Structure 1
Amino acid sequence: MPHFVKRIWPQSALRIMRLGYQLGTRWLAGSLPNRCLLCHQSIPIPETGICIVCLQSGLYHGPICLGCGKSMQIEVDYCGECQKRQPRKVVAPCSYHQGLGAWVGAIKYQGQLAALPVLCRALVARIKLLEQQGLITLPQAIVPVPLHPKRLQQRGFNQAWLIAHELSQLLQLPLVSEGLTRQQDTRPQAGLSGAQRRRNLHDAFMLADDFVFQRIALVDDVVTTGTTVSEIARLFEARYVHVQVWCLARAEAPGLLDDVDAV
């Protein structure tokens, strides 16, 4: 196959995916009953998914450590324990176990896409707040966690790509999905121990040699133990690319919840 065809095809596929997503979300907004998924009360058009009351009840209120997710008294980036080791920053609008995590999971497992736009806007609000406070810097590009082609065919969509696309539109940042690929069709992470997850994902991802960005946000739907994003982030950090993680919900203290189902 000519070299130029290989370079053009991913861009063409990306445009088709974007068009399909835009048409699909418009159809969804116009066809579903405009009721909150949680309380089932009516939601004013054009909003869909989760009403403002239920949304606010599930979001973080107050400072959260960007390392372990624990609540804090003052708005700083890390708690005292995380300050010692400066872990990778994870930005999320709510807790996976105590907030709206069940509906984030419904996006992936039940195709409940009506919840996606409102949760993405909540994440963007969190990102902008942290940027204004000087706790994070906006990246040069947004990179979604990839699915293996076989898994993508089975599910029909990559929820991380849908989230990244929405964030890209809201923040006016480039979405880059061509350079990072999943080369192994690994078994699902749910039910595995921490050590099993790490073995399961060993060498599962590959980063192209011509990746040019130096600061990225790695996007996934949820972060629980952090095994998936850590495996990918190491590929970037080996090339001196700064990585922060954005997700719709996170577990408190990733790495300490090895008995809870993971990303």
Structure 2
Amino acid sequence: MDRTHLHLSRWQWLVQLRRLLAASLPNRCMICHQRVVLPQRGICLTCLDAGLYSSPTCLGCGRAMPQQTAYCGGCMTSQPLKVVAPASYHQGLGETVAAIKYQGQLAGLTPLVQALVRRIRLLAEAEVISLPQALLPVPLHPHRLRERGFNQAFVIAHELGRALELPVLPDALERLSDTPPQAGLTGKQRRRNLAGAFRLSDEFDFQRVALIDDVVTTGTTAKEIAKLFEVRYIQVQVWCLARAEAPHLMDQ
């Protein structure tokens, strides 16, 4: 079975599981545990709104800004990789995002993806970002994929692709090494851990792409993958469900 069929078969299994769970379990918010009014599922509107960004946010560092542009003054010179997220990992939704990845609790996936879609459309309408031609989920090594049973980035990309009518290319990127988890590593250790860990298909011929992941913390993984596109002059941005920006930025 090739990698595409592996992704799809597991995603189809997850869809069926979600349908069974939706039919058998009470529809309660994953955060406050209050009943959620249909058709909303997984997260109630109160908890979702409380966790979403309430002001324009720099796509470079996550700093709040008075007006939505791509970068704040501090990022304007360096113009780092653009990260589009609807929420901060630290503002109430982090546990829900983590539960998707580590526990397979997919109830919160759809409302978070919908919030990301709204954020993407607003930024595109304001010409802060350009919509990509294709979506590429950050890949897992086959060993990690077998252990976890699914790639959360692929699941997110699948829903985004359907909502925005964009193709999802799960095989364009390959993870060559089964690197240790990034959590707990210093910046230097993270970079060394991921050096040469990914490969981009030689036949890739798109000019604008979006990398899809569940959360961006230091951005080391995204930056390492972005290098593969930048040497081919391919425009790349990152879309994720939440961003774990530096804590001091939340106080400004």
Structure-2 residue corresponding to 1:27: 20
Structure-2 residue corresponding to 1:215: 208
Pairwise CA distance, 1:15:
4.2
Partner amino acid, structure 2, of 1:177: P
1:75 counterpart = 2:68: yes
- C-alpha change, 1:194 and 1:11, in structure 2 (3 Å) is closer
Match of 2:90 among 88, 97, 112: 97
Pairwise CA distance, 1:181:
0.7
Match of 1:185 among 178, 181, 186: 178
DSSP 3-state at the match of 1:49: coil
Q: Tell me, in whole angstroms, the C-alpha distance in 1 between the residues paired with 2:71 and 2:43.
A: 30
Q: Tell me, in whole angstroms, the C-alpha distance in 1 between the residues paired with 2:110 and 2:182.
A: 26
Cα deviation, 1:14-64, whole Å, max 9, x if unaligned, reads: 543443343233223223320001111111233221000110010001110
- Relative to structure 2, which stretch is displaced further, 115-124 or 91-100? 91-100
1:40-189 alignment, distance < 5 Å? 40-189=33-182
Q: Tell me, in whole angstroms, the C-alpha distance in 2 between the residues paired with 1:231 and 1:182.
A: 11
- C-alpha change, 1:126 and 1:80, in structure 2 (3 Å) is same
- Relative to structure 2, which stretch is displaced further, 100-109 or 196-205? 100-109
- C-alpha change, 1:205 and 1:54, in structure 2 (3 Å) is same
Identity among equivalent pairs (%) = 59
Q: Runs of at least 4 residues of structure 1 off by over 6 A?
A: none
DSSP 3-state at the match of 1:98: helix
Partner amino acid, structure 1, of 2:87: C
TM-score w.r.t. length of structure 2? 0.93
Contact 1:223 1:249 in 2 (8 A): yes
Q: Tell me, in whole angstroms, the C-alpha distance in 2 between the residues paired with 1:253 and 1:213.
A: 32
- C-alpha change, 1:12 and 1:102, in structure 2 (3 Å) is closer
Q: Tell me, in whole angstroms, the C-alpha distance in 2 between the residues paired with 1:93 and 1:118.
A: 11
Structure-2 residue corresponding to 1:200: 193
TM-score w.r.t. length of structure 1? 0.90
Pairwise CA distance, 1:237:
1.2
Pairwise CA distance, 1:98:
2.4
Structure-2 residue corresponding to 1:243: 236
- C-alpha change, 1:248 and 1:205, in structure 2 (3 Å) is same
Pairwise CA distance, 1:253:
4.8
Structure 1 segments unaligned to the other structure (5+ residues): 1-5, 258-263
- C-alpha change, 1:241 and 1:77, in structure 2 (3 Å) is same
